[in-house]
Amino acid sequence: MSDSDLPQCPRLIARALRPLPPLPLGLALSALSRRLSARHPSMLRRLGEYAERAVLIDPTDLPFVLRIEPAAGPRVTAHRRGSAPQAAARIAGPLSALTGMLHGRYDGDALFFSRDLVIEGDTEAVLALRNALDDAELDLAAELAALAGPFGWAVRRVVAVAERASGLSLHREDLANGAFR
């Protein structure tokens, strides 16, 4: 697999995100991360000592990077590209590779060896994070739908449309009920 095989975030979306302030994005992602860790408490335990190490997630086709601090709640902060703070490690690649790996669509090792993902710094911290996320079998679309309560049906529809339009993996492929296929 190579970058040319992976879907890229549509440029229109990336441009539309550019003027947005990073603070609200970070606050929303921190709230979602806390919800995920509350619903999947083993995820943070699985990180062990690596929970103390911040990791930069760098979706290369978006205008910002995310700094994840698992032990701090977890806390996610968003930063404009080029102004990211220090972290123990950095994992970079197209958004489709990052979300696809999260949802089990793509194998992280294959993405790394094909150079679709770049890992810098403390690779053990990145591997611990990946293993914790893999074990939790997260489904971001289902989590967002649950967060929307009675409007979860609308979130499911928006996710299905967004997946078809962008090629991004926004749900787990191995769902038994096929809710987003």
Domains recognised in the chain with CATH numbers: 3-138 (3.30.1050.10)
Which secondary-structure segment (H or E) carries 165? helix 152-166
Q: How far is CA 128 from CA 71, 104, 111, 117, 169, in A?
A: 13, 16, 17, 16, 22
Residue 176 has pLDDT above 70, yes or no: no
The reported pLDDT for the residue numbered 12 is 83
Proportion of the chain above pLDDT 70, given as a percent: 93
- Cα pseudo-dihedral 131, 75, 125, 145, rounded to 10: 20
The reported pLDDT for the residue numbered 165 is 80
- Distance linking the first and last C-alpha atoms of the chain: 23
Q: Which two tokens stand for residue 137?
A: 């079998």
Tell me which DSSP letter residue 60 carries. T
Closest CA to 25 of 71, 73, 80: 80
Q: Which residue has the higher pLDDT, 176 or 164?
A: 164
R_g of the chain computed on alpha carbons: 16
The reported pLDDT for the residue numbered 174 is 67
Mean pLDDT of the chain: 87
